[in-house]
Amino acid sequence: MRTFITGIAGFVGQHLAAHLTAEGEEVAGLALAAGRRPEAGPAGVRVHEGDVCHGERVRALLKEVRPDRIIHLAARSSVADSLRDPWGTFAVNAGGTVSLLEAAAAAAPAARILVIGSAEAYGEVREEELPLTERRPLEPLTPYGISKAAAEQVALFYRRARGLHVVVARAFNHTGPGQEPTFVCSDFARQIARIDAGRERAGLRVGDLTARRDFLDVRDVVRAYVLLLEKGDAGEVYNVCSGKAWSIGEILEILRGYAGRPIAVEADPARGRSEDVPTLVGSFAKLEAATGWRPGIPLERTLKDLLDSWRAVLEKDQRR
């Protein structure tokens, strides 16, 4: 079985490549030429450089790799960035999905394909609508959410009109070792590791702590993605979530509990987000019914592993 992963050098891409190679699968992928860590990935993984929006390049790569499965992770993944550069986010997230699926229709029409949507596409939801099921209409509030809602529609179009075997994963928040510190859990963990190591004297800077999110461990997420490729129905959308909401403040307290010293907290208005959605929590009943998947790793362990991974990064830096 050969799997082609777009966005393979990103956070989820690296975990996914590691998961698949550990299962003995053949893995190839696409990373931005100018992107970070284009060489990343476990041994035996073939990483090709290119932009997912360049249809000809993607088509040529699919012809060369001849994948049985494609997982489309390449994206501008930050809500905050999407507010600064809505067009860039839309071009990559929606346009890149068109580009990939056009290429797949021409060069890998029999491949099973998973397109990654986002819970940000649900928009502002009322308490009584929680936990969200896939039937809840999408009313995105941010350029990122809009771009992901569009990517889903693109995926469903290629199923309907071109007969591709496309499944959509609607991913809620996820975190774990290797996540960029532009995301809140990783930001807090990195700051705590730096304060603990005496590299930072100021307190831990935080934005809005009230938003409530449904967090999964990235290792549970990649397991869900592979199961969806194997068992998901084409043309269907599946929430990938834990079913539990954690406030950002609760996450902060768990991480502070792992610190080696008391950690002062300072409010940083620059870390707040004006267009934020107050609460997102989903139901994974449809995913479980289709695949048997359930979340396996408790958030406390995920956060501990994340903090330990930042500690290891700092130690490595210090030894240089």
Is 186 a binder of ligand A2R (CB under 6 A)? Answer: no
Residue choice 96, 143, 145, 295 for contact with ligand A2R (CB under 6 A): 96
Is 171 a binder of ligand A2R (CB under 6 A)? Answer: yes
Is 235 a binder of ligand A2R (CB under 6 A)? Answer: no
Is 206 a binder of ligand A2R (CB under 6 A)? Answer: no
Is 143 a binder of ligand A2R (CB under 6 A)? Answer: no
Is 53 a binder of ligand A2R (CB under 6 A)? Answer: yes
Rounded to whole angstroms, the Cα distance separating 227 from 73 reads 16
Q: Which is nearer to ligand A2R, 73 or 184 (CB)?
A: 73
Distances (CA, A) of 39 to 32, 45, 78, 90, 160: 10, 9, 22, 26, 36
Residue choice 11, 246, 258, 310 for contact with ligand A2R (CB under 6 A): 11
Stretch that binds ligand A2R, among 25-33, 101-109, 188-196, 290-298 (CB under 6 A): 25-33
Is the distance from CB of 114 to CB of 225 less than 8 angstroms? yes
Is the distance from CB of 152 to CB of 166 less than 8 angstroms? no
Question: Shortest distance, CB of residue 107 to ligand A2R, whole angstroms?
Answer: 17
Question: Shortest distance, CB of residue 14 to ligand A2R, whole angstroms?
Answer: 8
Rounded to whole angstroms, the Cα distance separating 270 from 282 reads 28
Which of 96, 98, 101 lies closest to 113, judged by CA? 101
Q: Which is nearer to ligand A2R, 108 or 171 (CB)?
A: 171
Supply the DSSP string of 29-57, one letter for each residue. EEE-TTSS-TT-SSTT-EEEE--TT-HHH
Question: Shortest distance, CB of residue 171 to ligand A2R, whole angstroms?
Answer: 5
Is 123 a binder of ligand A2R (CB under 6 A)? Answer: no
Rounded to whole angstroms, the Cα distance separating 72 from 92 reads 12
Question: Shortest distance, CB of residue 285 to ligand A2R, whole angstroms?
Answer: 21
Q: Which is nearer to ligand A2R, 263 or 310 (CB)?
A: 310
> CB neighbours (10 Å) of residue 114?
24
Q: Which is nearer to ligand A2R, 30 or 193 (CB)?
A: 30
Rounded to whole angstroms, the Cα distance separating 276 from 175 reads 19
Query: What residue number has its CB nearest to ligand A2R?
Result: 10
Rounded to whole angstroms, the Cα distance separating 271 from 229 reads 36
Cα 288 to chain center, whole Å? 19
Residue choice 75, 100, 138, 248 for contact with ligand A2R (CB under 6 A): 75
Residue ranges that bind ligand A2R, judged by CB under 6 A: 7, 9-13, 30-32, 35-36, 51-53, 73-77, 92, 96, 116, 118, 171
